[in-house]
Chains A and B, each alone.
Chain A
Amino acid sequence: MKPVRSPLTGLLLPVAGFAVLAALPLIFSDAFFVAAVTLAFLGAAASLAWNLSGGYAGQLSLGHAAFYGLGAYVSTILFLKAGISPLIGMWLGAIVSAALAVFLGAITMRLKGSFFVMSTLAFGAVVHISAINLRDLTGGPSGLAIPLRPSPENLIFAKKLIYTYVALVLVIVFYAITRMIAASKIGYALVAFRENHDAARALGIRTLPLRIGVFALSAGLISICGTVHAQYYLYVDPDSVMGLNLSLNFALMAIVGGLGTAYGPIVGALLVSVVSVVMQAYLGDQISGLTQLAYAAIVILVLLVAPTGLGPSAHAFLKRRMTWLS
């Protein structure tokens, strides 16, 4: 479990990787492609935030869409009703989300595996249903439309490419946070807990406050993604920012790429997006359902072939090859 510390994987590889990501929307400037890349970046950022708690601490949450949605709603409501810039609103949203996460964590963090999963799922549902029913505040199921008034302080841009880079900045920052936590004592404690909680306890590692803290951080970060989502779509409604499918997708991206690794969510998000884009582009005009059918089949295949995620599986495969050669 010891992270590789060579300068290549430590710094050079990520910098090169992000440079490639930054160049992507410039090389393929087709609007469809740029939109897909933006979504991939936003998904990667959200999945990175999810992975802090879901991957490193092994707390598989299926309720993170609630925090994502809170970020979208808090900033949007403040913007529409009080004229507060989303640049401020997103921090307030993050604070609300983190506070709620502390509360939820205090209740559920002592639950084991599937019990924790189910309780986060129920939590997500409670927040989702509340958003539907608090009609005066959230606009109910019809949602809230944000007027298209481009200006940097409104976080609204006429050029969509800017959103792409806003999302990429989130990806880079979240990646750096992940690396910092992973390399710190907190990271080691979390991984020790994840791998074997009894042993961790025997060693005297007190993980509960750490896990709650990381859960709150994870909730706060994903909430910022929610604000960016709202400003990108200029439309917030409960199903599209709080639905269960969203929670599942955050987790899915991290799992496909490599759970509990810093690069996993990015690899996963790109792969998931590439697959859906290709499917959409080539099957979009055919029978209804075919696109998602193919998408689901590919996800199943990936999970069967590389259950630890594509990144780690590829790594292990290469390693086997090397030893065999030498």
Chain B
Amino acid sequence: MDIYIQLALSGLFIGGVYALISVGLTLVFGVLRVVNFAHGEYLTIAMYLTYFMFQRVGIDPFVASIAVVPLMFVLGLATERLLIRPTLEAPHVVQVFVTFALSLFLQNLLLALFTSDFRSVRTPYATAAFQIGPLYVSWLRAAVFVVALAFAGGLAAFLKYTYMGSAIRATAQDRRSARLVGINVDRVYAVTFALGCALVGAAGILLSPLFSVNPYTGADMILVSFVIVVLGGMGSIAGAVTAGLLIGVVESFTGYLAGGELKQLVYFVLFMIVLAVRPNGLFGRKGAEVMDVT
């Protein structure tokens, strides 16, 4: 029994990380309708920023977030202005492939700048753990989990209680009507995209004491986020969090019961079943996903 609780706990912890990465992706998708293939590279960039601040200046990752998150926000603003906005009127595929090319561009830029060596932030607390009965709980993973949920909650509150938040939600529902009621849709897009980058930046900071970084780290981690975003219902924050935690737990149990090599297979199959049965995902708005076709 203990082992199952421990597995669930491990699954929830890694699921929290997945959730935080996916929240930004789903937000951008929900509002701009752009599947951002470069999302993972922003994670990588944030991890590098954190690493260099730690290594060169000795700033703890959690402190570094004060600088890194705003930096990522600005980077997001710039990307939106230069690459996303010019293609918003273009066919859907163009946006997909602009972000794909951007991901390739950023990966190789990081490679040319920093080589492919793995860099690690080594903090004394990285592997510190406490024990509750038979359970081992890593301080850091627990903290990451809490912070991830706090960020997701903060985002939800922001969307609900601020003017900008309402504007973002209105735009997500119907961009034309939003424009009609006087919402500056361009600004909403810019802020949303930048928020997505800032969130994944925060995820990168939280991850850096846990994982080593090289130019391909983000790309390796992002595939699962695509699954999570669809599972949760594209555009749904609560859905992304729930699906993230769910995938984490599923991974953990299959890893234990069936073996690590089947982990991915299981969640991709699960994903296709969900799409076949309930294509709008767990929390998706109904009607957004299925065509009325014969």
Contacts and interface: CB of A to CB of B under 8 A. Distances in A.
Interface in B87-113: 87, 90-94, 96-98, 100-102, 104-105, 107-109, 111-112
A303 B104 CA distance: 14
A127 to B, nearest CB: 10
Interface in A116-133: 117-119, 121-123, 125-126, 129-130, 132-133
Given A111-B291, A308-B91, A248 B100 contact: yes
SS of B interface (majority): helix
Contacts of A107: 272, 275-276
Contacts of B101: 296, 299-300, 303
Interface string B228-239: 011000100000
Given A129-B264, A248-B100, A296-B105, A303 B94 contact: yes
Contacts of A126: 265, 268-269, 272
Contacts of B229: 118
Contacts of B292: 198, 201
Interface string A282-306: 0000011110110111011001100
Interface stretch (A71-79, A251-259, A315-323): A251-259
A185 interface: no
Interface in B109-130: 109, 111-112, 115-116
B78 interface: no
Nearest to B226: A118
B271 interface: yes
Contacts of B86: 304
Given A130-B265, A252-B97, A119 B275 contact: yes
Given A130-B265, A201-B294, A304 B272 contact: no
A162 interface: no
A53 to B, nearest CB: 13
Interface bin, chain A: 35 or more
A115 B102 contact: no
Interface string A259-295: 1000000000000000000000000000111101101
Contacts of B181: none
Interface in B236-294: 261-262, 264-265, 268-269, 271-272, 275-276, 279, 288-294
Contact of A299 (B91, B97, B269): B97
Nearest to B287: A112
A197 interface: yes
Given A125-B264, A133-B262, A133-B265, A119 B272 contact: yes
A252 B97 CA distance: 7
A128 to B, nearest CB: 9
A280 to B, nearest CB: 13
B91 A259 contact: yes
A111 B98 contact: no
B35 A118 contact: yes
A114 interface: yes
Contacts of A132: 261
A295 B107 CA distance: 12
Contacts of B29: 114
B55 to A, nearest CB: 21
A304 B83 contact: yes
Nearest to A123: B272
Contact of B115 (A110, A198, A288): A288
A297 B230 CA distance: 29
A111 B279 contact: yes
Contacts of A259: 91, 93
B98 A304 contact: yes
Interface string A18-62: 000000000000000000000000000000000000000000100
B272 A300 contact: no
Contacts of B234: 114-115
Nearest to A55: B93
Contact of B35 (A117, A252, A296): A117
B223 interface: yes
A307 interface: yes
B33 interface: yes
A290 B100 CA distance: 17
12 contacts: A60-B96, A108-B276, A115-B234, A117-B96, A123-B272, A201-B294, A289-B107, A289-B112, A300-B101, A303-B87, A303-B94, A308-B91
Interface of B: 29, 33, 35, 83, 86-87, 90-94, 96-98, 100-102, 104-105, 107-109, 111-112, 115-116, 215, 223, 226-227, 229-230, 234, 261-262, 264-265, 268-269, 271-272, 275-276, 279, 288-294
The list of the 4 closest CB pairs from A to B, nearest first, reads: A289-B111, A307-B90, A296-B105, A289-B108
